[in-house]
Amino acid sequence: METAAEVVPPRTHYVNAKYGVKSWLLTTDHKRIALLYLASVTFFFFVGGFFAVLIRLELLTPQGDLVQAETYNRLFTMHGVVMIFFFLIPAIPAVLGNFLVPLMVGAKDLAFPRINLLSWYIYTLGATFTVIAILLGGVDTGWTFYTPYSSTYSNGNVILTGLGVFIVGFSSILTGLNFIVTIHTMRAPGLTWFRLPLFIWSHYATSLIMILGTPVIAVTILLLALERLAHIGIFDPALGGDPVLFQHLFWFYSHPAVYIMVLPAMGVISELVANMTRKNIFGYKFVAFASIAIAVFGFLVWGHHMFVSTQSVYAGMVFSILSYAVAIPSAVKVFNWTATLYKGSISYNTPMLYAFGFIGFFIIGGMTGLFLAALGVDIHVHDTYFVVAHFHYIMVGGTIMGYLGGLHYWWPKISGRMYPEGWARFAALVIFVGFNLTFFPQFLLGYMGMPRRYYAYPEEFQVLNVMSSAGASILGIGYLIPMIYLIWSMRYGPHASANPWGAFGLEWRTSSPPPTQNFEKTPVVTWEAYEFHPREEREALGVMDVLDRTLRPDLNVGDRG
Amino acid sequence: MATHAGLAHHFDDIEQQREAGTLGMWAFLVTEVMFFGGLFLAYILYRSKYPTEFAVASNSLNVTMGFINTLVLICSSLTMALAVYFSQIGNRRLITVFLLLTMVLGTTFLVVKGFEYHEKYVEHHVPVRFPTYEFKWEPHGSDHAGAHEASSLAVDTGRVEMFFWLYFAMTGVHALHMIIGLGILTTLVIMTRRGRFTPEYHSPVELSGLYWHFVDIVWIFLFPLLYLIGAHLHR
């Protein structure tokens, strides 16, 4: 039963503005396109997860019993390709970013709505090629496509997969282009750069990497595919080519791509920490510029993937020092989030639980990144499970925690409904436990010398591998729970008010879900970012009961008994 | 503010729309620079690694055709700039004339390029290996001055092949951009005929002009890199 205050009169918003398949597939509304992306990346998350399940099952025992080497090579390659190019890179920018960037800057849409739709179609086209490649038996080169194996010897569907990755890159470029132009030219009156939410700053930095880095991977994969096709080329050492050139070109994109994955998550965490502690973020400008610094430095560190690839030792030293330099802006962010908590009015609700998870995992993932950036240590742990654990702490522990935290936080805005808080907290806990159990043992395995990408291993590694596989099954259940209750809440969840969190930011100053044109009237911004004045603000927003709701999230669903 | 037919629903005014379009095109051109950058990097790396083979292979290109194409493209940049100018002052007839002239010059470039590619095909300089067709490298006969010295140098065929591989990749991607450019110009001509452009609203012409100039500039870099550097060594 809903109380009178909760009854929302039927009104037109972006979801019910039009009906029919055509109104979705031909929409230029950034919010609908975000939902198209949401469906697509969720699908690929479970495809990638399926391969992960098979990998962990095989590694349950030291021998190869479920699959043999060749199949195993295909499994981890497809896991990497699908997860990185079709889930992690588009997840936050194309779903949350697409939905929120225009709302947060007070615009009616992104600058180029049709290009936005085009980017989804390009994504779908690239995805189709990759799915066909998977169905034809996949590819076995590892997601890095290293030459000359990929160009000459591999018998997998390298060209088809490469084509998929090549195409999907353009969707990423177009998204980045759209964000940059929107943030530059379409901010609401009064919304100066330093009044922007930090989510926007981090998406701006991400977009810079997208438009500068992605073309390089495109041309690299083009060269690789042509070389494989014509059996001639510049990466083939037999013809005087240099396979290390491929690694340079590949990592010139793929290292910054790590920041494409984690920077948007950092933007989400900044929003969560500020709004759930009801304080301005400590050192706003430092956090904002840290995003830009990470994007810039991120382009100068690719060589730390190649310490053992005949790169000159002097180049190695420079890349090592620059990699350490990236730790500075990253640490600035972590310290400032932590400092924001101090004397904050912290709500321990689901989004904040994910934010805490992110901060912890990011510290572990980031610190182990420094181990790998050290020339000497890297030679010991290069290509071991230590590397696998490190980047999963950043990508799964960082990006996916940020993505899920953001999805919960903005779910009332996206769907107009509240998710069940109790289940959500339970799922967050399951994910936290499952994640640590999966990936922490891998640090130990790697340090003891277990190489990555092997389907069999010596028996002394079995205990830790069983722990990891057990953790993975817990993690998998943890990911299924939100999937189920979020879909459930779209129909049965209690209606959300315009601003259920009492949060700051323009996206909360329009109804949930927003109308197609986002705002009834273009907002005029006269306040600073996260300018919390508890009492006055609540009065101004007319949400006097908000603080109680935030402190007692169970009240949000309490009306339903 | 008077609303304009060309104003999209999500912009406040035509000025904001123009700014967004201009910034978008510049950002797109930045991605294009990075895209070609990968190819240029590969070229520079191997040019410095295998200077002899690259110089010899480079000398077998048809400089005359390359030079003609350079002139054609520079002229097409001029006609494009004039088309933009006339769109700013709103002279519909002259916009159409200069757009069409630009298209003629662009097509000329592609035709000349086609003859060049054909020449390479006949000479077996296309770096592919099919049962019916194979790359072959023989030092040129007496029709090339200085061929004697060139042939006397020890030349690794694989590295020469690499030059041609890069030559076809770079000029091929460039030609693809020219073809896309011709498609854009066709659209512009149709839009002009329908009277879509006015002195207040002409950014499609202006932005397409930016694109066209960019493609020209890429050729301005390709021509000396592929045809001219090292030409003095064996002539």
Residue A19 in any domain: the answer is no
pLDDT score, position A36: 96
Residues 363-422 of A with CB under 8 A from B: none
Which residue in chain B is spatially nearest to A166 when comparing CA positions? Answer: B35
Residue B100 in any domain: the answer is yes
Q: CATH number, domain at A280?
A: 1.20.210.10
Q: Which residue has the higher pLDDT, A558 or A524?
A: A524
User: Total structural domains in chain B?
Assistant: 1
pLDDT score, position B153: 59
Residue B209 in any domain: the answer is yes
Give the distance from CA B35 to its chain's centroid: 14
Residues 201-220 of A with CB under 8 A from B: 211-216, 218-220
DSSP state, A13? -
pLDDT score, position B10: 87
A524 has a chain B CB within 8 A of its CB: no
Give the distance from CA A271 to its chain's centroid: 15
- Per-residue pLDDT at A545 exceeds 80: no
pLDDT score, position A552: 44
Closest CA to A165 of A150, A152, A177: A150
Q: Which residue has the higher pLDDT, A383 or B142?
A: A383
pLDDT in tens, B32-68: 999 999 999 999 999 998 988 898 899 889 999 999 9
Q: By residue range, what is the domain housing residue B70?
A: 62-136+157-227
- Chain B closest CA to A174's CA: distance in Å? 8
Residue pair A397/A447 in contact (Cβ under 8 Å)? The answer is: no
Residues in A closer than 8 angstroms to B24, CB to CB, are: 111-112, 177-178, 181
Residue B198 in any domain: the answer is yes
The whole-model pTM stands at 0.91
Highest mean pLDDT: which of A1-10, A501-510, A539-548? A501-510
pLDDT in tens, A385-426: 999 999 999 999 999 999 999 999 999 999 999 999 999 999
Which residue in chain A is spatially nearest to B129 when comparing CA positions? Answer: A230
A103 has a chain B CB within 8 A of its CB: no
- Chain B closest CA to A242's CA: distance in Å? 9
3-class secondary structure, B101? helix
Interatomic CA distance for residues A142 and A140, integer angstroms: 6
Residue pair A231/A211 in contact (Cβ under 8 Å)? The answer is: no
Residue pair A476/A411 in contact (Cβ under 8 Å)? The answer is: no
Q: Give the DSSP letter string of A181-205.
A: HHHHH-PPTT--GGGS-HHHHHHHH
Residue B51 in any domain: the answer is no
Residue A110 in any domain: the answer is yes
Residue B173 in any domain: the answer is yes
Residue A356 in any domain: the answer is yes
User: Could you give the angle at which helices B14-49 and A158-185 cross, rounded to 10 degrees?
Assistant: 140
A49 has a chain B CB within 8 A of its CB: no
Q: CATH number, domain at B174?
A: 1.20.120.80
Give A515: exposed, middle or buried? Use CB within 10 Å, 0-12, 13-18, 19+. Answer: middle
- Chain A closest CA to B148's CA: distance in Å? 25
Residue pair A11/A512 in contact (Cβ under 8 Å)? The answer is: no
In this complex, the residue of A182, A222, A234 whose CB is nearest that of residue B166 is A234
Q: Which helix (H) or strand (E) holds B32?
A: helix B14-49
3-class secondary structure, A451? strand
A470 has a chain B CB within 8 A of its CB: no
- Please, which residues bridge with residue A193 across strands? none
Residues in B closer than 8 angstroms to A230, CB to CB, are: 127-129, 165
- Per-residue pLDDT at A5 exceeds 90: no
Query: pLDDT category, A6, cuts 50, 70, 90?
Result: low
Residue A92 in any domain: the answer is yes
Which residue in chain B is spatially nearest to A221 when comparing CA positions? Answer: B38
Interatomic CA distance for residues A435 and A549, integer angstroms: 30
A148: preceding bond cis by omega (within 30 degrees):
yes
pLDDT score, position A556: 45
Provide residues of B within 8 Å CB-CB of chain A: 8-12, 16, 19-20, 23-24, 27-28, 30-32, 34-39, 41-42, 45-46, 49-50, 127-129, 135, 156, 158-159, 161-162, 165-166, 169, 173
Residue pair A553/A347 in contact (Cβ under 8 Å)? The answer is: yes
Query: pLDDT category, A538, cuts 50, 70, 90?
Result: low
3-class secondary structure, A417? strand
Is there a contact between B10 and A113 if contact means CB atoms under 8 Å apart?
yes
pLDDT score, position B77: 97
Residues in B closer than 8 angstroms to A110, CB to CB, are: 10
Query: Which single residue is written with the structure tokens 């390479």?
Result: B120
pLDDT in tens, A226-246: 888 877 778 888 777 889 999
Instruction: Mean pLDDT check: name the lowest of A2-11, A146-155, A465-474.
Output: A2-11
Q: By residue range, what is the domain housing residue A547?
A: 27-558
Is there a contact between B9 and A108 if contact means CB atoms under 8 Å apart?
yes
Q: Which residue has the higher pLDDT, A85 or B3?
A: A85
Is there a contact between A212 and B31 if contact means CB atoms under 8 Å apart?
yes
A-to-B residue pairs, Cβ atoms closer than 8 angstroms: 116
SS3 letters for A462-516?
A: HHHHHHHHHHHHHHHHHHHHHHHHHHHHHHHCCECCCCCCCCCCHHHHCCCCCCC
A190 has a chain B CB within 8 A of its CB: no
Q: Say if the ipTM goes beyond 0.85.
A: yes
Query: pLDDT category, B130, cuts 50, 70, 90?
Result: confident
3-class secondary structure, A384? strand
Residue A403 in any domain: the answer is yes
Residue B143 in any domain: the answer is no
User: Total structural domains in chain A?
Assistant: 1
pLDDT score, position A555: 43
pLDDT score, position A167: 96
